Amino acid sequence: MPEQQSGGAPKGLLQQMEELMAALSADLTQLDADIQSSADRQAGTADDASGTAAGPSGASGPAEPRGGGLG
């Protein structure tokens, strides 16, 4: 019978850990969705606001005069 008693405590602890892991997983999933949504909004805003002046690749800015001068 001592095996059942010692087995009961870890099972309760295991259940608590599983519940905490499920809650953590849900929180991380929500955080990931929030971050992706925020990144999508910022990317859309950056594209609209910067236009060709400061694009992420920089090809429309200083890259054209350098390429034209060397070629």
58: left (phi over 0), alpha (psi -120 to 50) or beta: left
Whether the model clears a pTM of 0.85, i.e. scores above it, the answer is no
Which amino acid belongs to residue 19? Answer: E
Query: What is the residue extent of each domain of the chain?
Result: 1-37
pLDDT at 28: 98
Residue 10 has pLDDT above 90, yes or no: no
CA-to-CA dists, residue 27 to 15, 16, 24, 38, angstroms: 18, 16, 5, 16
Q: Which range in 7-11, 21-25, 49-53, 65-69 is most confidently predicted, on average pLDDT? A: 21-25
